[in-house]
Amino acid sequence: MDTPPARLHRPSRRRFLKSTLSAAALACMSAIGIGAGTARAAGASPADLVETFHDQLLGVMKAAETLGFQGRYDRLASPISTAFHLRLMTQI
């Protein structure tokens, strides 16, 4: 009997989407609580901050395969730093 060639371990698309959506949901929930101070300081409402981040995140998720890792990082670095007070989050 012939044995099938060994395959590299690659997470399934469903598993990838589930983990990505979980991370996005966590990020949005965090933006509501932690990003509220940043939003008020910039004159935007917390809802506007979450909506903007959500739109940018969905755009990156839709183009994830074409962007690759570095492309996703580059496109999300600025929105994440705007939506989250990372220094405070790492101290908590």
* Cβ atoms of 31 and 50 closer than 8 Å: yes
The whole-model pTM stands at 0.51
Torsion sign over Cα 48, 27, 83, 64: negative
pLDDT in tens, the chain (92 residues): 565 655 555 667 777 766 776 666 666 555 555 444 444 445 778 889 889 999 999 999 999 999 999 999 999 999 998 888 888 888 88
